Structure formats: C-alpha cells, structure tokens
Structure 1
Amino acid sequence: MKKRVFSGTRATGRLHLGNYLGAVKGYVELQNSSEYESIYMVMDLHAITTPYDKEKLSENTRNVIMDYLACGLDPEKSIITAQSLVPEHSYLAHILSSEITVARMQHLPTFKEKVKQHPDHVTMALLNYPVLMAADILLYRASLVPVGIDQEPHLEVAREIARKMNDKYGTDFPEPKRFATKGEYVPSLTGEGKMSKSVEGSYISLTDNLDEIKKKLSGAPTDSGNGEKIPEKGGVVNLLQLVELFEGLDKRKEYESKYLDEGIRYGELKSGLAEAIYKDLMPIQKQRKIYEDDPSLVDRIIKDGAEKARKIASETLDEVKRKMGLINHD
C-alpha cells in the first residue's frame, strides 16, 4: 500500500529558488516514486491568518499552482489544488480544536514569533493555525509531511491530536512524521539566513529574467574580495554557496583560492552566477508559459484536484462525525 504524502505552500506570491530547491524539487521526486501517493496544495486559508492583500490572494494562489506545474508537478500523478476549495479542511479543524487547549497553542514558539511580527493582528485564526495544519494532514491520513524543521512544533500538535482522537473516539489517524527531502538550503541575497518571501531583496523568483537576476545579485553584500581567511558567515559565504549550488564545487574552490591570493572580482562572479541561475530557470519558465497562455487548463487542474481531494476528505470527515456522535445525514 502506498504511503500518502501531504504538503503545501502559503499563497503569498510566486515561488523563489529556495522554495524550488528546498521543497518543490523534492515534491516532484516523491510524486515520481511508486512508493507514494501525493497531495500538494496552495494554502490560501493559512495565508489569511496574517495580514494579506485581498485583491492579490486569488492571483497569488494561481501563481503558486502555475509554479508547481512548471517545476514538474503532474496533475495525473498528484492531487494539485487550493486549500479553500476543500471546505472539509475548515470543518475538521473546528472539530479537532475541541481536543486541544488554548494554553497549548499560546505556548508554541511559532505563535509567539507571529505575535511579535504582527502585534495588531493576533487573531483566533492565527492561534488556530496549527490546528488547521493538523486538519490538512489528518484529513487525508497522510503519514509523511515534507516540510522544514521549523514546522516540527506544528507536526507535534498534529500527532498529539491524532493520539487523542484515536484514544477517545476510535479513529485511525496515523501520527504524521516530517519527511526530509533532499532539498538544498538556499542562502539569502542579504547575507543573513535563507531566501524568504517575507524578506525583501533576499530571493530570486522562478520567473525572474536574466536582467532581474543580475540586478538582485548586484545588491548582495561583499567585501574587498581578498583576505587571509575565507569568511564563515555573511554575504561572501552566501555567494560562494550559491556558486556551488549552480556552478559546482570546483567553481567555488576556484573562487576561494582567488580570495586567498590575487582576490575575487565580484562583478565577474555575480555575472557568471546570474547566467548559471538563469540557465537552470529557463526550462521552468518555458513550461510556465504554457500555463500562462492557457488559463482554462489551470482552472481545470485546480477544479479536478479539488474534486479528487474532496472525495478523500469527505469520507474522513463523515467517519469522524459518526464516531464523535454528531448527526449524520445517512
């Protein structure tokens, strides 16, 4: 029996290199394996838990789905759709919220971080974010969730809820585990941390052209280009990591040798790196244009994905309602 995989991306805009190498490339590998049945969604309900632009939400959702498809996710092999088109997610989240306390949610480090980021937008939706995430996963009885280590506290909530539901009501939810794909850590262009949509100037989008990539790289912080020791953190080491990712380890070593000797010409490094990144993005952009030119095809994929997802989700929800003693229409 195939293991079911569930993962998603918040509907906050087009995907960037970090999303691709760190997540979506791994999604494609799982999709193409005979061991797994995969469901990938754009999490637009999660997007409204923090301040967002209502005029752009639907467009952002479609853009992520087109990026999914351009990167190789196949609607014939995976369920691909938007979270809000499957109302069972919200329904099950409300049911599951009866099995977890407010205090438990308030103590999560991720909740505390969001409160600091958005002190004027501490809503019940934000507090219930991990419960909705648990519903997203348990609704499909997914046992594997390819997400970053930062989501581990939320997965622990999902496991805790699954145990309580199984013990109290006799459901058979698996306890989901984080599945680490072979994704790459893609460093930020700012010199600190990793690429992130929430940090302006830190990322390169999958849809960026060569000039846009060059412009973004030109702003990456550097130093004099010469020293007695290779920097261990900051803009220079981030650039060298990007060189290794897109031009190979030998090219990185070549630049490191120059740094310790005659010095690096960063204009030359950034120009070569931009060309290498764009070369990798060209097939994705070519594939994306197919979907940009055929909106009805994208509509069908989203609609078909929602129908497939609802078939699984409704069966799970009906079972949960029955076992919890809620009135069923049967």
Structure 2
Amino acid sequence: MRRIFSGIQPTGNLTLGNYLGAIRNWVALQGEKSYECIFCVVDQHAITIPQDPAELKQATREVAASLIAAGIDPTDSILFNQSQVDEHMKLAWVLGCVARVGWLNRMTQFKDKAGKDRDNATTGLWWYPVLMAADILAYKGTHVPVGDDQKQHLELARDIAQAYNSMFGVEFFPLPEPQILGAATRVMSLRDGTKKMSKSDASDMSRINMTDDADTIANKIKKAKTDPEPLPSEAAGLAERAEARNLVTIYAALADRTVDEVLAEYGGQGFGKFKPALSELAVEVLGPIGAELQKLMADPAFIDSVLAKGGDRARALAKPIVEEVYDTVGFLRP
C-alpha cells in the first residue's frame, strides 16, 4: 500500500494558493484507493516563530475545518494535529542524530526566513526539516505532495532515510517520492506576480482567503495588479507578463482547463471583461467551501473530536514503527 503524508501549518488564513496548490490535490488523491492518505495540521512546526497560544489553538481548528470543508473526509483519510502524536518528536531526535549539520545549513528556506539576523533565529527554525522528515517517516510515507518550496526538504528526508538505513544495515525506511500535481501548483500574489501568494503577506489584498465572502473575493480580483495590454491568444504571450499569467493560471485551475483553452476564449479581451469572469468563477468554487467552513467553525467540539479520532488512528500506525527504530538504535525498553 502506498502511503501519502502531507502537512499544513496553522498560521494565518488558508488561501486560494493553498487550495489550488495542495488541498484540492489532496482531495483528488483521497479518491484513489491505491493510496492511504494521512493529512496533518503541523502545529509543532508553527512555533518555529512566536505564536499566541490561544490563536494557535483557534488556527489549528480553522485549518482542520478548512480541509474538511474542501472535501477531506476524516473517516476515509486520517486527519489530526501533529502535537497529539508523540512519535513525531521521538523519531525526530533519532533522525537528528543521523542528519548532518552541513545538510541543514544548505536549506534555502532557513536562509530566507532567518534573513540577515541568523544568530537570532530559533534553533527550531533551523531544525525544522528534521522534524518534517520524522513526520513522513514515522508512517513510512511513500509519497508526499509538495510545492516547489518544500522540494528541498523532501530531498533531505530522503537523504536522512537512506543514511539511517545505511547506518544500521537495514532496509527499513522507504525513500519518499515527491508528488507535484495540478495546473496551479504555485499561485502568485495578486499584488506582485513574481511572489508566491502567502498567508503571511502583510497585505490581505495580496491573497484570496478561503474565509473571504463573495464581495471580498470580487473586490480583491477587481483590484489585482495587471497591465494595460489585452490578453494574448496563446500561452507564450504571457511569458513576460507575471500578473496576467497569474490570473489566467488561476482561472484555468479553477475551471479545470488549460491556459491555452482559457486564452482561446478570452484572448484579445482586456481585464475589464476577464476579471469579472474570474470573480464569478472564484465565488462559484470557493463560496460553498467558505459556507461549510463557517458552519464547522460554529461547532469546535466537533472539530476537536475529529482531530482526536485522527490522532488515535495516526498513533496506532506510528507507534510500532518508532518502537522498531528504538530497538534498532539500541534503546532499552524494559
């Protein structure tokens, strides 16, 4: 059985980028019975930067509710929050003793997030990829849906798995394979088409949140940055037009069409006609998800019960795997 593991941080509202780049693909994978799907709200990763404790709990519930509203079925897939399952941290320490400092120092995401003041960055931010490897390997995950920004971390997880197997002379951990799916795996900011749409961007106008209502979605698309030229008739005409390419790509992904198919319909037209069409489509797709999300958030006890049941199921899978690792390493378990 092929086992998929993927996680998402509970920091800020989930965006259209999260939906098109990850969540929608998770829902599709869930329907393929050749996979066992494990989806995790990675609240332990979230505290690599300071979080308000009450807000973190609320955000964890909101992300879980967003996943359910978007189509993740917690009775089919396993859905839980990371901190419930101690095996993640237990395995992370062992894997941290396998990983090399040089490997972690090469992680570009740490360099980007730490910036110039690296000495004041937390060790958790630096060590984050080891915990990510443990998240995957605690379940012997074979496939991981990832965006471009996480490919390097997955490569590190493969290196760690291979190093562990070699160190102890076993063929225990599989080398997880990346899955990069969907037409809009990298949705860009509505204010700057060269930057990824991010829930941490200071400007709320840069993104469409899954919690936005119809009027808000329409207003953000109306004010999205564009250029004065009409849309081209072929995709090649978008090469040097980052904002135009982003909006057309979003439309194509929401409509489940190719960029060329969209341009065949809208090529030669200006954004005065294209933006209203995009707004209508975005509301049509995201509206029902947002409504279901609000309904779920009105019942936090239900969300908590879903996460608790998912945690029990996840723990049942991870516990024997980590116990075997502890035996292999030589830890005495009387």
TM over 0.5: yes
Contact preservation (8 Å) 2:139, 2:317: yes
- State how 1:197-216 maps to structure 2 within 5 Å: 197-199=199-201, 200=203, 201-216=205-220
Contact preservation (8 Å) 2:230, 2:268: no
The CA deviation at 1:268 is 4.1
Q: Give the structure 1 partner of residue 245 of structure 2.
A: 237
2:87 pairs with 1:88: yes
Contact preservation (8 Å) 2:184, 2:250: no
Q: 1:197 to 1:65 in 2, by over 3 A?
A: same
Q: Give the structure 2 partner of residue 184 of structure 1.
A: 184
The CA deviation at 1:176 is 0.8
Q: Give the structure 2 partner of residue 261 of structure 1.
A: none
Q: Quick check: 304-313 or 237-246, which moved more?
A: 237-246
Q: Give the structure 1 partner of residue 308 of structure 2.
A: 303
The CA deviation at 1:21 is 1.3
Secondary structure, aligned partner of 1:133: helix
- State how 1:138-287 maps to structure 2 within 5 Å: 138-169=137-168, 170=170, 172-185=172-185, 186-190=187-191, 191-199=193-201, 200=203, 201-225=205-229, 232-246=240-254, 252-258=263-269, 264=270, 266-287=271-292
Q: Give the structure 2 partner of residue 36 of structure 1.
A: 35
Q: Give the structure 2 partner of residue 315 of structure 1.
A: 320
Q: Give the structure 2 partner of residue 9 of structure 1.
A: 8
d(CA) in 1 for partners of 2:245, 2:151: 28
The CA deviation at 1:24 is 0.9
Contact preservation (8 Å) 1:42, 1:64: yes
Q: Quick check: 31-40 or 184-193, which moved more?
A: 184-193
d(CA) in 2 for partners of 1:239, 1:152: 25
The CA deviation at 1:18 is 1.2
Contact preservation (8 Å) 2:231, 2:244: no
Contact preservation (8 Å) 1:50, 1:118: no
Q: Quick check: 299-308 or 44-53, which moved more?
A: 44-53
* One-letter code aligned to 1:311: A
Q: Unpaired segments of 5 or more residues in structure 1?
A: 259-263
The CA deviation at 1:119 is 4.1
Q: 1:183 to 1:145 in 2, by over 3 A?
A: farther
d(CA) in 2 for partners of 1:112, 1:271: 40
Q: 1:227 to 1:297 in 2, by over 3 A?
A: closer
d(CA) in 1 for partners of 2:150, 2:100: 19
Q: Unpaired segments of 5 or more residues in structure 2?
A: none
Render the CA deviation track for 1:36-61: whole Å, top value 9, x for unaligned: 10100011111111243333111111
The CA deviation at 1:254 is 4.3
Percent sequence identity over aligned pairs? 38
* One-letter code aligned to 1:205: N
d(CA) in 1 for partners of 2:322, 2:232: 63
Render the CA deviation track for 1:178-197: whole Å, top value 9, x for unaligned: 12223523332113233221
The CA deviation at 1:101 is 2.1
Q: TM-score, normalised by structure 2?
A: 0.88
d(CA) in 2 for partners of 1:117, 1:40: 34
Secondary structure, aligned partner of 2:54: coil
The CA deviation at 1:150 is 2.4
Contact preservation (8 Å) 2:183, 2:249: no
Secondary structure, aligned partner of 1:81: strand
Q: Give the structure 2 partner of residue 116 of structure 1.
A: 115
The CA deviation at 1:252 is 3.6
The CA deviation at 1:239 is 2.7
Render the CA deviation track for 1:88-123: whole Å, top value 9, x for unaligned: 111111111111222221122222222217646412
Contact preservation (8 Å) 1:244, 1:252: no
Q: Quick check: 46-55 or 226-235, which moved more?
A: 226-235
Secondary structure, aligned partner of 2:53: coil
Taking only aligned residues, the RMSD between alpha carbons, in angstroms, comes to: 2.3
d(CA) in 1 for partners of 2:275, 2:132: 39
2:331 alignment partner, one of 317, 326, 329 = 326
Q: Give the structure 1 partner of residue 62 of structure 2.
A: 63
Q: 1:47 to 1:160 in 2, by over 3 A?
A: same
Q: 1:310 to 1:72 in 2, by over 3 A?
A: same
d(CA) in 2 for partners of 1:120, 1:205: 33
Q: 1:43 to 1:173 in 2, by over 3 A?
A: same
d(CA) in 1 for partners of 2:64, 2:194: 28
d(CA) in 2 for partners of 1:84, 1:117: 30
